[in-house]
């Protein structure tokens, strides 16, 4: 049997991640205990100011003591960068995901321009990427529609609930 470095790493990482997910509360308490021990170590060695200087520079904050950092609750200021990253990632994911299937279909159409016959196209590839593109675009439309519906309940009610005939009511048409 040949040694496959990537497979072993993937198995190990999957194993670790599944254990972390199963024991999230234990991990959280261990991280909190570890941070508290780290803070105690910094205070015992009079390194609080050096740490705060690095910490404030890295997170663009202005904490004056480790006690203030320790008192932060979940989802407070330290998570603001993470929230901004997730917001950015969410906004960039749709264009990135939708362009690839579209390009693959256009590459197949480009083959027509290069002179191959219509029956020589890779129809399996076109079907798969076309379906994938439809799922991505439809999903994006559904998410934007739900957001609009939530932000504009009066307009949604005025335009009518789902269905052409407003659930069987006559529209005067």
> Which regions of the chain does DSSP assign to beta strands (E)?
none
User: Could you tell me what percentage of the chain is helix, strand and coil, using 3-state DSSP and rounding each to the nearest 5?
Assistant: 75, 0, 25
Distance between alpha carbon 131 and the CA centroid of its chain, in Å? 22
**pTM of the complete model:** 0.41
Average pLDDT over residues 32-53: 86
Q: Tokens 């705060």 appear where?
A: 52
Mean pLDDT is lowest, of 2-6, 43-47, 109-113, 142-146, for 2-6
Q: Please report, rounded to a whole number, the percentage of residues in the chain having pLDDT higher than 70.
A: 75
pLDDT in the model for residue 9: 63
Residue 8 has pLDDT above 60, yes or no: no
pLDDT one-digit tens code per residue, 116-157: 888 888 888 888 888 888 888 888 888 888 888 889 888 877
Q: How far apart are CA 162 and CA 166, in angstroms?
A: 7
Rounded to the nearest integer, the mean pLDDT of the chain is 77
What DSSP line would sit under 73-89, residue for residue? PTTSGGGHHHHHHHHHH
Q: How far apart are CA 130 and CA 126, in angstroms?
A: 6
pLDDT one-digit tens code per residue, 16-40: 667 766 777 777 777 788 888 888 8
Cα within 13 Å of Cα(17), Cβ side: 6
Residue 1 has pLDDT above 50, yes or no: no
Q: How confident is the model at residue 60 (pLDDT cuts 50, 70, 90)?
A: confident
């Amino acid at each position: 049997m040949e040694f496959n470095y990537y497979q072993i790493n993937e198995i190990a990482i999957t194993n670790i991640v599944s254990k972390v997910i199963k024991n999230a509360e234990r991990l959280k308490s261990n991280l909190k205990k570890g941070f508290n021990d780290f803070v105690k170590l910094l205070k015992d060695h009079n390194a609080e100011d050096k740490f705060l200087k690095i910490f404030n520079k890295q997170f663009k904050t202005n904490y004056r003591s480790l006690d203030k950092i320790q008192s932060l609750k979940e989802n407070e200021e330290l998570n603001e960068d993470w929230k901004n990253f997730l917001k950015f990632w969410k906004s960039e994911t749709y264009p990135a995901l939708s362009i690839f299937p579209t390009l693959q279909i256009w590459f197949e159409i480009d083959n027509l321009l290069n002179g191959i016959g219509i029956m020589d196209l890779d129809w399996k590839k076109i079907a798969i990427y076309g379906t994938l593109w439809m799922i991505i675009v439809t999903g994006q439309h559904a998410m934007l529609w739900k957001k609009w519906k939530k932000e504009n309940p009066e307009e949604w009610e005025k335009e009518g609930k789902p269905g052409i005939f407003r659930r069987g009511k006559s529209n005067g048409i």
